[in-house]
Structure 1
Amino acid sequence: MTDVSIVLPVQNAAPAIGSLYDSLAAVLGDVSWELVVVDDDSPDGTADVVRALALKHGNVRCLQRVQDRGRASAIHWGVQASHGEVIVVMDGDARQQPGFVPKMLAALEQGNDIASAARPGVVSGLANALVNFRLGSRLADPLTGFFATSRSLFVRSIARMQADGFNVFFDLVYYNRQARVRELALPDGPLGRTGLKPQLYVLWALLCDMISKLSGGLAPPRLVSFVGVGVIGSSVHFSVLYASLGLGAVFWMSQALATVTAMVFNFTVNNVLTYSSDRLRRATYYKGLLLYTIIASFGVVANVST
Structure 2
Amino acid sequence: MFHQVVERSLTVADAPLELSVIVPTLNEVGNVELLLEKLGVALVGIEWEAIFVDDGSTDGTPELLTTIAQADRRVRLIRRIGRRGLSSAVVEGALASTTPIVAVIDADLQHDERVLPDLFRAVAREGHELAIGTRYAGAGSTGEWDDTRLKISRFATALASPIMKTRLSDPMSGFFAVRRDVLLEAAPRLSNVGYKILLDLVASSPRPLSVGEVPYTFGTRQHGASKLDEMVALEYLELLLDKTVGRFVPVKLVQFGAIGTLGVAVHLALLYFTLNMLGTAFAVAQAAAVLGAMTFNFALNNRFTYRDRQLKGFAWVGGLLSFYLVCALGAIANVGIGSLVYEQYHGWWLAGIAGAIVGSVWNYVASGWLTWTKR
Query: When the two structures are superposed, what TM-score results if normalisation uses the length of structure 2?
Result: 0.68
2:26 is the counterpart of 1:11: yes
Identify the residue that residue 234 of structure 1 maps to in structure 2.
264
- CA deviations 1:160-191 (Å, max 9, x no partner) are 11234663211211133521333434425525
Residue 87 (1) aligns with residue 114 (2): no
Matched, 1:187 2:217: yes
The reply on whether 1:291 has 2:321 as its aligned counterpart is no
1:101 maps to amino acid: L
Which runs of 5 or more structure 1 residues have no equivalent in the other structure? none
> 1:260: Cα distance to partner?
4.3
Q: Deviations over 1:233-252 (max 9, x none)?
A: 33333343345545364334
Residues 69 and 18 of structure 1, relative CA distance in 2, 3 Å threshold: same
The answer to whether the 8 Å contact 2:166/2:208 transfers is: no
1:37 pairs, out of 52, 57, 82, with 52
The match for 1:113 is 129
Instruction: From 26, 34, 44, give the equivalent of 2:41.
Output: 26
Return closer, same or farther for 1:260/1:43 CA change in 2, 3 Å cut-off.
Answer: farther
Residues 1:175 and 2:191 are matched in the alignment: no
Q: How does 1:50-199 map to 2 (within 5 A)?
A: 50-108=65-123, 109-119=125-135, 120=142, 121=150, 123-135=152-164, 139-164=168-193, 167-176=196-205, 177-187=207-217, 189-191=219-221, 195=226, 197-198=228-229
Could you tell me whether the CA contact under 8 Å between 2:122 and 2:212 is conserved in 1? yes
> 1:239 & 1:299 partners in 2: Cα distance?
23
Separation of aligned partners in 1, 2:30 and 2:235: 29
Task: Please give the root-mean-square deviation of Cα atoms over the aligned residues, in Å.
Answer: 3.3
Q: 1:226 to 1:8 in 2, by over 3 A?
A: farther
Aligned length: 299
In structure 1, how many angstroms separate the alpha carbons of the residues matched to 2:22 and 2:289?
Answer: 47
SS state at 1:159 partner = helix
Q: Percent identical across equivalent pairs?
A: 28
Instruction: Measure, in 1, the Cα distance between the counterparts of 2:255 and 2:182.
Output: 29
- The match for 2:64 is 49
2:330 and 2:202 map into 1 onto residues whose CA distance is: 47
Tell me by how many angstroms 1:275 deviates.
Answer: 4.1
1:234 and 1:90, CA in 2 relative to 1: closer, same or farther beyond 3 A? Answer: farther
1:209 match: 239
Counterparts in 2 of 1:189 and 1:41: CA distance versus 1, 3 Å: closer
Judge conservation of contact 1:38–1:74 (CA < 8 Å) in 2. yes
Contact in 2 for aligned 1:34/1:84 (Cα 8 Å): no
Assess if the C-alpha contact under 8 Å between 1:104 and 1:115 holds in 2.
yes
Bigger mean CA offset, 161-170 vs 270-279: 270-279
CA distance in 2, matches of 1:20, 1:212: 34
Can you give the 5+ residue segments of structure 2 that lack an aligned partner in the other structure?
A: 1-15, 136-141, 143-149, 336-375
Shift of 1:117: 2.6
Tell me the equivalent position of 1:254: 285
Instruction: Determine helix, strand or coil for the equivalent of 1:197.
Output: coil
Cα displacement (A) at 1:113: 2.2
Query: Partner letter of residue 290 of structure 2?
Result: T
Between 1:267-276 and 1:52-61, the stretch displaced more is 267-276
User: 8 Å contact 2:238–2:251 — kept in the other structure?
Assistant: yes
Structure 1 residue 144, shift from structure 2 partner = 2.2
CA, structure 1 residues 26+165, in 2 after alignment: closer, same or farther (shift >3 Å)? same
Q: Using the TM superposition, give the Cα deviation of residue 202 of structure 1 relative to its aligned residue in structure 2, in angstroms.
A: 4.8
Give 1:64 deviation, angstroms: 1.0
Rounded to whole Å, the distance in 1 between the matches of 2:62 and 2:232 is 28
Deviation of 1:149 after TM superposition, in Å, equals 0.6
Contact 2:202 2:209 in 1 (8 A): yes
Change beyond 3 A, Cα 1:268–1:296: closer
Deviations 1:205-242 (A, max 9, x none): 33433333344546444444334333333333334334
Higher relative contact order (CA 8 A, sep 6+): 1
Contact kept, 8 Å, 1:69 with 1:278, in 2: the verdict is no
**Matched letter for residue 17 of structure 2:** T
